[in-house]
Chains A and B, each alone.
Chain A
Amino acid sequence: MNAPQQGFKERADAELKNAVLKIAIDRTTGNAERKRAVAVAAFPEFQAARARGRAIKDHVIAHLDHYLEMFERNATAAGAQVHWAADDAEARAIITRICLEADAKLVTRAKSMLGEEIGLPHALADAGIERVETDLAEHIIQLAGERPSHIVWPAMHRTREQVAILFKEAHHPPPAADDPATMVQSARRELRAKFLGADVGISGANFLVADTGATCTVTNEGNAELTTTPPRIHIVTAGIEKLVPSTAHAFALLRLLVRSATGGEMTQYTTFHCGPKRPGDADGPEEMHIVLVDNGRTRMLADEFRPMLRCIRCGACMNHCVVYRQIGGHAYGGTYPGPMGAVLTPVLDGLAQSRDLPHACTMNGRCAEVCPVEIPLPTLLRAWRTRSWRERLEPRSVRAALGLWAMAARRPWLYRLGSRIGVRALRLFGRRGWIGSLPLAGGWTAYRDLPRPSGRTFMEQYRAGQAGRAGQTGREARK
């Protein structure tokens, strides 16, 4: 479903040359990074809360069947219809069937990454149903015909001027100016009629609360409630890992989620949806459907990627990732970008399609440091690299080079000789301490400089240092 069209390298290359994109990414991720730091500093219990959040997620993952059945029981008792989908195709089929049976012409949708993951936008288009994205950022990328480039700010790659061009074409009347406030007003006006005229509203869920059967959405715009209240049918799509035992557990995770995502303490609207309209209720949908989606999650449960099921989709790992900040979200080619995307995309699309992603990582560990549920992202990326090697997915040049290295590494004299030649040869390419270009490594040096090596290998210097120190100690002893 999410298989990238071109290779990661070509996409990343194109994005690296895009100066406008670079400014846009820096603005959003830089802001997010600063605000998160302030929010975490203002909450001294953050590390304890983080350990607790991780424990809550681990507890649910260890008893997932128990909580899924409890949730199903309670949601059904509240009048919701619970559906199960083993993969993206099943999920799409369930949702289009519900829409077609309801004779739906217009569907409003509140942002959900799972909806993107299962390819819902295309499925609705194929079924001939008009889909209106109601989250402002999703509205922008729908008009642009793009996919989200960030899981919290899907349109962060678009500048205000670009948004103005899209809105002027699509909004009636067009916005009078291109400052953000005027354009937000324009979207508010434009989408109001859609909210009230929709036949079906589709939302995601940040949490599924097992003991009440409620689904929880968090938004800042208020579009989720305007999406889920007026239509006759409300459909929720959610991954099976979204469960929490109770409302109080959801709150414990919410404290981590909001601070890590936007640096706020609480989203403007935190809404628990429990079943359809009750007898006598003033408003609300007549039917509520909840589609529980597996799509690779039970596979992760059984292998080394299990900790990834803790992910609460806050986006902090990408905001703090040096690679993401260079190339943006689209280069990753899947639904989920950044470090979490590099772990998840091989699960969803297959490793053969996406083996470049776990390799595009500097292993600096920032992502794991900021992850609010302590997911060891670099370890998981390393696990993909290992698997890629074992499954012989590495290109021939890499395998050959590493094979050569392995042969030399087993013969110390050969290794020493090779590295002595190498380190001296590298000095020929660099002036003033940095190497700006290197034959056969243009891909590396185009956007980075390699420090010019010292002319002697580490082992040579180490030995010289040891000898020097031995001499010194000897001198001291003589005094």
Chain B
Amino acid sequence: MSARDRILAAIRAARPAPLPPAEAIAAEAAALLDAPESVRPWPVEAVLAAEFVRKASALGTSFDHLPDRAAIPLAVKRYLDTHGLPPALALQPAPALAALDWTDIDTHDAVAPDQTAALGLALWGIAETGSLVIHSGADAPILLSFLPLHHIVVLEERSLLPHLEDYAAAMQGAAQPRNAILITGPSGTTDIEGSYVRGAHGPGFLHVLMIGG
């Protein structure tokens, strides 16, 4: 008997009654998600964007509010200048970003192992936790969000979601990407004597360019 069969047989042997039909199990599982407001935190801010900024800022994420996408290159330049960084940027190879006017910044779509700064797009923001959601894909390399020291992320205000479950609902029926990542603040560690240090392996700085509103 294979390990698989042995394990499944042991599980079945431990259950007194036969397994209920799949629909009954699914109904029980769905009921465990009922009344989500009774088992999750309530927002403090009435406006979604304000709540998102409140949560993400508390974790060390910085913000710049922009009227539209055309303002992105200038905002990036401003950020690099403020931090005394060279005008170089790894750019997520997405058409929406490539279409912008990058005359003042040297952009490339390969991420170097010691990349200083990179710019990418978030698909959603989750107000409850201040998280940004990214998915892997043809125009979305995962390393772009992990190798650089400064990670700059574009987030449309209209793609904000109130709660974690709303992201799960948005993905309901959609194809699950290879990687779906919720990024919540810059990378950090408390592994040496419990003292908090930013930039453990991932980015030490997370900067959000919030578009619209």
> What residues of chain A have their CB less than 8 Å away from a CB belonging to chain B?
24, 27-28, 31, 42-43, 45, 48-49, 52, 55-56, 59, 62-66, 68-69, 78, 84-86, 90, 134-137, 140, 153, 155-156, 158-160, 163, 180-181, 183-185, 187-188, 191-193, 195-196, 212-214, 220-223, 225-226, 229-230, 240, 245-249, 251-252, 254-255, 262, 265-278, 280-284, 292, 294, 298-299, 301-302
Contacts and interface: CB of A to CB of B under 8 A. Distances in A.
Contact of B199 (A64, A188, A191, A301): A188
Contacts of A284: 136, 142, 178-179
B19 A63 contact: yes
Contacts of B192: 136, 140, 155, 158, 160, 163, 180, 183-184
Nearest to A218: B182
Given A266-B182, A272-B180, A283-B141, 7 more contacts: A59-B32, A62-B15, A86-B7, A246-B168, A254-B164, A255-B39, A282-B142
Interface string B21-44: 010011011001100001111000
B202 A240 contact: no
Contacts of B188: 220-221, 268
Given A78-B176, A226-B202, A274-B178, A153 B138 contact: no
Nearest to A68: B8
Which are the 7 A-B pairs with shortest beta-carbon distances?
A222-B202, A282-B141, A298-B10, A221-B200, A302-B14, A248-B168, A251-B164
A278 B194 contact: no
B176 A213 contact: yes
Interface in B25-71: 25-26, 28-29, 32-33, 38-41, 55, 59
Contacts of B142: 225, 229, 282-284
B33 A180 contact: no
Contact of B12 (A52, A65, A163, A271): A65
Contacts of B197: 180-181, 184
B125 to A, nearest CB: 13
Given A163-B192, A192-B113, A280-B138, A240 B180 contact: no
A270 B131 contact: yes
B137 interface: yes
Contact of A270 (B33, B138, B178, B184): B184
A63 B182 CA distance: 29
B101 interface: no
Contacts of A188: 199-201
B143 A283 contact: yes
A277 B140 CA distance: 12
A52 B39 contact: yes
Query: Which of B131, B137, B177 gathers most chain A CB within 10 Å?
Result: B177
Contacts of A278: 136-137, 177-178
B162 interface: no
Nearest to B197: A184
Contacts of A225: 142, 145-146, 179, 181, 202
A221 B11 contact: no
14 contacts: A27-B193, A62-B15, A136-B201, A163-B192, A222-B146, A223-B201, A225-B202, A229-B146, A240-B7, A245-B29, A249-B33, A269-B187, A282-B136, A284-B142
A246 B29 contact: yes
B181 A269 contact: yes
Interface in B169-213: 169, 171, 176-195, 197, 199-203
Contacts of B191: 135-137, 140, 153, 155
A148 B131 CA distance: 30
Nearest to A271: B181
B130 to A, nearest CB: 8
B106 interface: no
Interface of B: 2-4, 6-8, 10-15, 19-20, 22, 25-26, 28-29, 32-33, 38-41, 55, 59, 93, 113-114, 129-131, 136-143, 145-147, 164-165, 167-169, 171, 176-195, 197, 199-203
A142 to B, nearest CB: 13
B146 to A, nearest CB: 5
A459 to B, nearest CB: 45
Contact of A272 (B138, B145, B179, B203): B179
B178 A276 contact: yes
Nearest to B137: A281
A54 to B, nearest CB: 10
B14 A298 contact: yes
Contacts of A31: 194
B134 to A, nearest CB: 10
A126 B201 CA distance: 28
Contacts of B3: 84-86, 90, 294
Contacts of B138: 280-282
B178 A273 contact: yes
B145 to A, nearest CB: 8
A221 B140 CA distance: 21
A193 B113 contact: yes
Query: Which of A27, A49, A68, A265 gathers most chain B CB within 10 Å?
Result: A265
B176 A294 contact: no
B189 A220 contact: yes
Contacts of B29: 59, 245-246, 249
Contact of B40 (A28, A45, A66, A229): A45
Contacts of A45: 38-41
B110 to A, nearest CB: 10
Contacts of B185: 268
B39 A153 contact: no
B168 A229 contact: no
Query: Which of B4, B183, B185, B190 gathers most chain A CB within 10 Å?
Result: B190
A276 B137 CA distance: 12
B40 A65 contact: no
Nearest to A155: B191
Contacts of A266: 129-131, 182, 184
Contacts of B59: 268
Contacts of B6: 86
A31 B137 CA distance: 40
Given A28-B194, A155-B191, A193-B113, A222 B33 contact: no
